[in-house]
Structures are given as C-alpha cells and as structure tokens.
Structure 1
Amino acid sequence: MPRQMILFAIATLLPVPMIAAAAILGGGWVLLALAYLTLFTATLDEVVRRVVPATEGVEFPAAAGLSITLAGLHFALMALVVSVIALSDGLGSWEKAGLFAAAGLFFGQVSNSNAHELIHARDRLRHRLGMWVYISMLYGHHTSAHPLVHHVRVATRADPATSRRGESFYRYVGRAWRGGFRQGLAAETARIERARLPRWRHPYALYVGGALAIGLAVLWLTGLKGLLVWIGLAGYAQAQLLMSDYVQHYGLIRATDAKGKPVPTGPAHSWNSPHLWSSALMLNAPRHSDHHASPARPYPALRLDDDLPMLPRSLPVMSCLALHPRRWRKVMDPLADAWSGRT
C-alpha cells in the first residue's frame, strides 16, 4: 500500500472508534472525538508544512477499498449515534450534545468527501454507494447536481454552487441549495426525456423516496426524537458541504470570450489548500483545481501545483472564518481580486 494511502486511512478511520466509544461510554471519549476533528487537525495542519505529492496511476484498489469501508462505517455510525441520542439514558445532556457535534463533523468532513469521491467512480456499485450516503444525509440530489450542473457551470453566475464576491455564506447557502436541487432536477429530466425512459426511472424519485424510507424507518425505530436527531445531523452535514463549496469557489469567475461564452475551466477557478492532515481527512478534496480539471481522477492522484489560488489557512479554518462575513471579506476579497485578471 502506498504511504499516502496509509495517511488517508489513519486520518479518516481514527475518529470512527472515538465516536463509537463516545456513543457507548461517553465522558472523555466525547471530548477526544471532538478534539481530534477540530483542535488536533487544525494544529497539525499548522505544525506540519509538508505537502504530500500525488501518487501516479489510474487504478487505486486500496483507495476504492477505503471508500467502500468508510461508506459502510458512515451508515453504522449514523444508526448508532441517532439511537443513542434518542433512546439511551446512559449519557448526560452535555455528552449527547458533544456526540452530536463530533458525529456531525465526521459526516460533514469525511462522509461528504467520501460520497463525493464515490459518485465520481466509474463503476456502478461505488456510484450507488455514494448516492446512498448522500440520501442518508437528505442530500441525494447532489449526486446529479454536482456532475451535471456544478462541473459544467463552475465559476459562472449560472452555477448555484459558485459563491460570488461580496456574498456572505448566509446569503449563499439558501441560493446554492435551491439552485442545486432545481438545476439538477432539470438536467436529469432532460436526460430522461432524451433517452425516452419512463418517469419512474427519474433519479430524483429515488433521492426523495429513499430519504422518505429512511425517515420512516428512523421514526419507527427511534421515535420522533430520533427523527429530529437524524434530520439535525443531516442538516449539519449539508451545511459543511455547502460551506466547502462556498470557500473553494469564492469570487472566482471565468472570463468570457468574444462570443460571450465562458472560457474553459482552468486551474485558476478554484481555491486550494496544501495542508496535510485536513487534506487527508477529506480525501484530498482541498486539491480542488485538479479535481475540476480531471473529475474522474482518484483522490490519491490529485495534484497540487504552486501556481494555483491558495487559501491562506486550511479549509476547515477558512470555513470558520467564513462564518464572520466582514472578516472573511477582509481576507478573501483582495485575494479574489488578484486572481480575477487571470481567469
């Protein structure tokens, strides 16, 4: 197994037993899980300045295996955390709140990144697995909206996932969610009509129906409290995915050619982050320019060149900064302006 894969495995799998122990035992395990996903990751990003080079190749069986494993662990953790918070009397209020936060961070940072990798996979099994991870977080439509809308229209005003210069995250989040859902629906409807397939084959029927089925199962097994916990965790995870898109595309708009059409997507149309541990935790999602250049490229092979838009801090830290619009704009607007002439 390549050394880089060992790093990915350690970073993504380590919080799983911590969260499981937090759910079963509570106490210090709750604090440890929270600390790992916040302070430890942020500190290691600042202390270790080494950039791991891309692993050359096309096929990565170990990467595929890790993604499948993480998807299975996602469903197991989701079931465990929802049932414990809703039904268990063994944890106190602060422990349940901490468990909710830690699990939500895992779903938002690891599960989202892994599902993103899976829906780009060429084989049907992994693609479907990624879709169900998104459905379990009430975000199934992202399976369609991401490749059919975002990758096509990125860095244009037509892309709901591209954040505009001067737009706060709070204004962005609703526009991006609604726009992604609607444009993904339109793209899939057009594809169904072109292929002359029956309406019941529409992917959105599965996204919505699957979410309803999971919701009914959660309600039956854990009651109304469990349903609310699940919806809360899903919303928390969605917010983190939307925040990642907000940060990674802020203020970068493609120029237009003489005919008024956007120029092809290039390296200058996404913000990147070279930080070691958060990149490993999110399966190289912060190497965003290369992902848009080669969407099918597996995460161990994503490249990070020097001449790219770089975030001044790691993606999680910049996401926290984005919660404060004035401070965010003070840092990012000059950087976006500096790149605007190169897009």
Structure 2
Amino acid sequence: MTPSPKPLPLAGFALATLLPLPLLLLGAGLGGVWLWAAFLYMAVLTILLDQLVPLTSGAAEGAEFPAADILLVTVGVGALGVLPLATWAIAGPGPLGAWERVILFLAAGFWLGQVAHPAAHELIHRPRRELFRLGAAVYVALLFGQHASAHRLVHHRHVASDEDPNSARAGEGFYRFAPRAWAGSFVQGLRAESELRRRGSRLGLHPYFLYVTGSLAALVLALAIAGLPGLLVWLGLALHAQSQILLSDYVQHYGLTRARLPDGRLEPVGLRHSWNTAHWFTSAMMLNAPRHSDHHAHPLRPFPALRLPPEDEAPRLPWPLPVACALALAPRRWRRLIRPHLARWQAASPAQDTGA
C-alpha cells in the first residue's frame, strides 16, 4: 500500500524560494561560482529534485500559517531589492565579465518570474491592505502593475472563457496569446477598476494612476543607477519576468473552457478549468502555484494548504510547470505534446473546444 503524501513544512517552501537570493547577491558582487550556482539552481537543479518525491499533500484544512505571510513579505522585499541590484551589476561599471552579466540576467529573471511572481500573486489575494500593496508594488516594479487588478477582477471571474484575455484557446500559440493577454488584461482591468469607482465601491486614487506612475518611477531609478544601459537592463528583466507570468497563464488554462448555462451565464469555476502539476520541488519554489485548480476554487486559501486534485477530477500536466512553459515556447511541439492530454478533457466535457 502506497503511503499517503505528507504536507511540506513551511521551512521547505522557505528554503526552495529563498536559497537563490544569497546566491544572486553574492553573484552580483563576486561573480564566478555564485552566479553559476544561482543559474543552475533555477534552470536545472529544481527540475532534477522534482524527480525525487512525486508530490506532497496540502496542510490540514483550517490550519493557521502565521509564518507564511512573513515568507511572502521576505520574497516581495527581496524582489524589490534584486531588480536595482541586478541592474547595477549588469549595466554598471562593476567587476563582472560579459558572460557573467548574461548569466546574472538569466538567473535574476528566472527568480523574478518563478518565485517573486507567485509571492506577489499570493500577496494580492491577501485581505490585509499592506500585503496587497506590497504584491502590487512588485508587479509595478516589473512594469506589470495591471496584473494586480486584472488577475483578481477579470481573470478569476471569467477564467476559461473568451471573456478572459489570460485564458489561452485550444490551438492558440503562445506568441499570439502573449500580446492579446497583455493588452487585454490592461484594458479589462482598467475597465473593472473604473466600474468599481463609478458605482462608489472604491474611493481614492485610481490604481492605474499608481501603476503607471510607479512604473515610470522604476525606470527613472534605472536611469539613475546606470544611465541608458540601466534603463535597458531593467526593461529586459521586467520583460523576462513578464514572459514567464504570461507563460504560466498560457499553460495553466490552455484549451480549457467553461460551459454556458441556459440563462447565458458561465458555469461556476471548477477544478476542471485549470491544469495542475504534481512535482514537489518546483511547486514548493513557486509557492504551490502549480496547484492551480484549488487556487481558483478557493482564491483566499493560503498557499501551504492548497491541494492537488485527483487526476480524474482535474487535468494534470505530465511535466513540471517550468518545463511546460519552456515547451510552450515552441508552439508546434507544444500542441503536439499537449493534444492527447487535452483530448481527455474535451471528450469528458462537451464545452471544450476542439481546435488543438
């Protein structure tokens, strides 16, 4: 009899998410082995470690996680420090050689997209205002502030439908999806926030004013750090991270659609409307973001408690999420590999598109 998987302790999440930070800090100042350690951790080691343990369970329902928010704040503050530090080390007159600067760019970008983004995503779902603001600040620094509004007000409401710009259609390649998702989330998030203010549900400055001015301030900081090269590096790191955010959205909802009810409304969001992965270490590093079905079913559930639904209840990818995102960069190969997995859910639900 196979023993039941045990919950991953919070220390496991902390180790997986925070270990790259000192490697990046040392690499930015000293280069050499520290840079390679940070890069190989993000690009290779995490995938290898996934093979050691297939999955872990979620923590007990109703358990309290006072240290979980501390971890999220640590990652969020770390992201706000990594961006200017990496910009200085890559674009400034520091000691790093040309190839070391490239390695730092890749390693920092991977950490921002695969660790800082999941932490910011958790923070914008927290009810405490100061936590939400920190998560939004991370997205603003990544020049992607609209995500703090569009993800909560548009994506969670319209996921797996044509009304959600961040749900990829079956057969749609990533390079067609990405600009549609970026522009659509900006516009629809703006529209949703403006509607809340029109109805009097929200007061104060429009958040999009803060998103735009905050991003402009980040770019001014980049200029102050290292002039035009600093500006270009900050832009590059932001685009690197944004591409990973969009890849995650693309992979985690690819081809899955919700049915229309007789009254024209969409069916309720269910476990079948998101792809999941069971790989333990990348899930820990990404704060259980790959347990995406449970997050959509329970948006306020803390990340240590997210559950992995059985394979007959929710679609599951055979690859770790970072690997699936890498495969999606080759659209033809991605469509060929995902087709049999998507076909299972298309056959089980008449609402599913058949364009893959």
Residue 273 of structure 1 pairs with residue 277 of structure 2: yes
Quote the residue 2:354 is aligned against. Answer: none
Is the CA contact 1:52–1:276 (under 8 Å) kept in the aligned structure 2? no
Residue 135 of structure 1 pairs with residue 140 of structure 2: yes
| Per-residue deviation, 1:217 | 2.1
- The one-letter code sitting in structure 2 at the alignment partner of 1:335 is H
Calculate the aligned-residue CA RMSD, in Å.
1.5
Q: How does 1:253-292 map to 2 (within 5 A)?
A: 253-292=257-296
Cα distance in 1, alignment partners of residues 54 and 110 from structure 2:
24
The correspondence for 1:118, drawn from 120, 123, 135, is 123
Deviations 1:248-282 (A, max 9, x none): 00000011122232111100000001101000000
Deviations 1:54-110 (A, max 9, x none): 343253111000001111111111121111111133110000000000000000000
| Per-residue deviation, 1:32 | 1.1
The correspondence for 2:324, drawn from 310, 318, 324, is 318
Quote the residue 1:93 is aligned against. Answer: 98
Cα distance in 2, alignment partners of residues 88 and 78 from structure 1:
17
Q: How does 1:4-83 map to 2 (within 5 A)?
A: 4-57=9-62, 59-83=64-88
Q: 1:262 to 1:196 in 2, by over 3 A?
A: closer
Residue 225 of structure 1 pairs with residue 232 of structure 2: no
- The one-letter code sitting in structure 2 at the alignment partner of 1:42 is I
Cα distance in 2, alignment partners of residues 276 and 112 from structure 1:
18
User: Greater CA deviation, 171-180 or 56-65?
Assistant: 56-65
Cα distance in 1, alignment partners of residues 17 and 93 from structure 2:
27
Residue 202 of structure 1 pairs with residue 219 of structure 2: no
- The one-letter code sitting in structure 2 at the alignment partner of 1:308 is A
Would you tell me which structure has more helix in proportion to its own residues?
1
| Per-residue deviation, 1:197 | 6.6
Residue 165 of structure 1 pairs with residue 194 of structure 2: no
Quote the residue 2:344 is aligned against. Answer: 338
TM-score by length of 2: 0.93
| Per-residue deviation, 1:4 | 1.8
- The one-letter code sitting in structure 2 at the alignment partner of 1:218 is A
Aligned residues: 341
Is the CA contact 2:54–2:279 (under 8 Å) kept in the aligned structure 1? yes
Cα distance in 2, alignment partners of residues 330 and 55 from structure 1:
38
Q: Tell me the SS of whatever aligns to 1:201.
A: coil
Cα distance in 2, alignment partners of residues 96 and 58 from structure 1:
43
| Per-residue deviation, 1:220 | 2.1
Is the CA contact 2:24–2:35 (under 8 Å) kept in the aligned structure 1? yes
Cα distance in 2, alignment partners of residues 173 and 165 from structure 1:
14
Is the CA contact 2:23–2:34 (under 8 Å) kept in the aligned structure 1? yes
- The one-letter code sitting in structure 2 at the alignment partner of 1:311 is L
Cα distance in 1, alignment partners of residues 8 and 340 from structure 2:
37
Cα distance in 2, alignment partners of residues 52 and 44 from structure 1:
17
Deviations 1:195-244 (A, max 9, x none): 1877x711100000111112112212321111111111001000000000
User: Greater CA deviation, 326-335 or 175-184?
Assistant: 326-335
Cα distance in 1, alignment partners of residues 190 and 63 from structure 2:
31
User: Greater CA deviation, 165-174 or 48-57?
Assistant: 48-57
In structure 1, the gaps of 5 or more residues are none
| Per-residue deviation, 1:309 | 0.6
